[in-house]
Structure 1
Amino acid sequence: MDTIEQLAKQVKILTITVGVLLIVLVVFGIKLFTGDKASAAELTVQRLNIVESDGTLRMVISNKEKQHPGAIDGKDLPKRERDAGMVFFNDKGDECGGLMYSGDKNGAGMVYSIDQYKNDQIMQLQYSQNGENKKIRSYGFKLWDRSDDFTMGQLVSHFDSLKLDNSSKAYRDEVARLKAKGYLGTERLFLGKAKNGQTGLFLSDNKGKPRLKIYIDSLNRPVIQTLDEKGAVASTLAGSN
């Protein structure tokens, strides 16, 4: 009997102890996340969502596995593979840019993008590298034009309605058609080092055709080059090395 009473007493003490610990944890959690002076020396998470008081998502900091797929017109995009980093969302909860990064012995990269409202990126600071032994690198600043007549939401709905396999010829043909109409964005400027080793300023017309290059070539000569609308070199002015 004494043994049973002692066991009952120990269970009672354990129950009280667990209850006190739970209360302490709840109080600590409330202070940590809602207190005016909440702070923590270190926080380890796989994903962190920053939201407004009404729940509107404004920023996601995440690893690769749990990265947000993006959102447009108030709807999340289909699940897709994205690198670790930060994704930014505007007042409406639509993606409006982000900072992504990755890297291993086969390749590395980091991209900071600023998106046009209701569309894809129009400004981007980027670095990319491929190859383990013979490395190919490109890094610099890019600008795009985006159509107001064909938003990202319309693009997503368009391809959803077609139900095309992403690896099919029909899909590639439709991408080419939309690109020719300027609906997929047109790269207008690159300032930096290109994959071919040229470092300089590269400008394109509103159809995405290269028209002006100002760069340093492989012989360390300054070069100014103009091109016609078909991409043929119209004039070249090269200095000495």
Structure 2
Amino acid sequence: MENLVSKVKKLQMAVVALISLNLFFLVTSYKPKESKHEKFEEISVDRINIVDKKGVTKMVIASQDMLRKDSKDPGVSEGFTYSGMLFRNEEGEECGGLIFNGKKTKTGQSADAGLTLDQYNQDQNVVIEHNETVDRAESSIKDGLTVIQRPDYTKRRDEYKKYEEIDKLMQTTAQKDSLRTYYATQGVTSRRRLFVGIEHGVKSQKSYNEAGLFIRNKAGANAIKLYVDDNNIPHFEVYDLSGKKKVYELDLKEKK
């Protein structure tokens, strides 16, 4: 009987030891799940790329030197000076952005800021912008919403060839304007169709200040203007197809 009790005690001790050993291995082998979230108090970089699971860059945040380093847009100039954020679609093509710059110049200041929305594989066609150029002689400040009509993306490279063609013409300004109007009417170049906002400044030693709605026709010429001028006088004007001649004007001047 004593022998049986002894064996039971030994078995109990073995079970306790085995459980303890298993608990030891369980505790020591446990590793908490590694977090994929990294936290930084401060980080300094030239560019950040937001990339989806397929490896497509969907957004870029960068300084002016890096923002469009890999852009395929034929309209990007070598002197691009904007910092900010660019949005890209499912194909990795630019489709808008939030950009800005600003600096003092030898004679004044210059600044630009804008939220742009692009047509598919095209340049921006909706812009909320601030544009500012000020020097000793003249100034121009523009704040508002601009809508631009652009050709289909398949004609984009031909579009920029037309601009180069116009710039290289050894002709008068009037002849160049005529060619611009022709290409715009044919729908092969871009043209501003709508602006809602304020434009003010000094030009040829005369101040101007216009706040209102400005609509242009398919050729990019003036069609309708509804605005308040520098003297607080409201205007409603309708233009002919050339955009140079007023065919109707509502006289809202105060009668003396």
**Pair in the same fold by TM > 0.5:** yes
SS of the aligned residue for 1:187 comes to: strand
Alignment of 1:107-118 (within 5 A): 107-118=110-121
Q: Please state if 1:84 is matched with 2:83.
A: yes
User: Superposition RMSD on alpha carbons, in Å?
Assistant: 3.0
User: Which deviates the most, 107-116 or 191-200?
Assistant: 191-200
Residue 185 of structure 1 is matched in structure 2 by: 190
SS of the aligned residue for 1:112 comes to: strand
Separation in 1 of the partners of 2:231 and 2:250?
A: 14
Residue 7 of structure 2 is matched in structure 1 by: none
Separation in 1 of the partners of 2:40 and 2:114?
A: 29
User: Which deviates the most, 175-184 or 203-212?
Assistant: 175-184
CA contact (8 A) 1:49 1:61 kept: yes
Q: Please state if 1:212 is matched with 2:224.
A: yes
The alpha carbon displacement at 1:58 in A equals 1.1
Residue 6 of structure 1 is matched in structure 2 by: none
Residue 51 of structure 1 is matched in structure 2 by: 51
Structure 2 unmatched ranges of 5 or more: 1-33, 201-207
Residue 202 of structure 1 is matched in structure 2 by: 214
The alpha carbon displacement at 1:211 in A equals 0.7
CA contact (8 A) 2:121 2:153 kept: no
Separation in 2 of the partners of 1:78 and 1:188?
A: 22
Instruction: Give the aligned residue type for 1:199.
Output: A
**Are the structure 2 counterparts of residues 179 and 227 from structure 1 closer, same or farther at C-alpha, using a change threshold of 3 Å?**
closer
**Are the structure 2 counterparts of residues 151 and 165 from structure 1 closer, same or farther at C-alpha, using a change threshold of 3 Å?**
closer
CA contact (8 A) 1:69 1:76 kept: no
User: Which deviates the most, 89-98 or 180-189?
Assistant: 180-189
Normalised TM-score (structure 2): 0.67
Alignment of 1:1-241 (within 5 A): 35-69=35-69, 71-72=71-72, 80-82=78-80, 83-105=82-104, 106-133=109-136, 134-148=138-152, 150-152=154-156, 155=159, 168-169=168-169, 176=180, 178-179=183-184, 181-195=186-200, 196-231=208-243, 232-240=245-253
User: Which deviates the most, 192-201 or 110-119?
Assistant: 192-201
Instruction: Give the aligned residue type for 1:229.
Output: L
> Radius of gyration: which is bigger?
2
Percent of aligned pairs sharing the same letter: 24
**Are the structure 2 counterparts of residues 76 and 187 from structure 1 closer, same or farther at C-alpha, using a change threshold of 3 Å?**
closer
Normalised TM-score (structure 1): 0.71
Separation in 2 of the partners of 1:57 and 1:147?
A: 26
The alpha carbon displacement at 1:206 in A equals 1.6
Instruction: Give the aligned residue type for 2:134.
Output: G
Separation in 2 of the partners of 1:206 and 1:76?
A: 24
**Are the structure 2 counterparts of residues 226 and 166 from structure 1 closer, same or farther at C-alpha, using a change threshold of 3 Å?**
closer
The alpha carbon displacement at 1:66 in A equals 1.8
Instruction: Give the aligned residue type for 2:46.
Output: Q
User: Which deviates the most, 35-44 or 47-56?
Assistant: 35-44
CA contact (8 A) 2:144 2:198 kept: yes
CA contact (8 A) 1:100 1:110 kept: yes
SS of the aligned residue for 2:59 comes to: strand
SS of the aligned residue for 1:43 comes to: coil
The alpha carbon displacement at 1:79 in A equals 7.5
In the comparison of the two structures, how many residue pairs are matched? 199
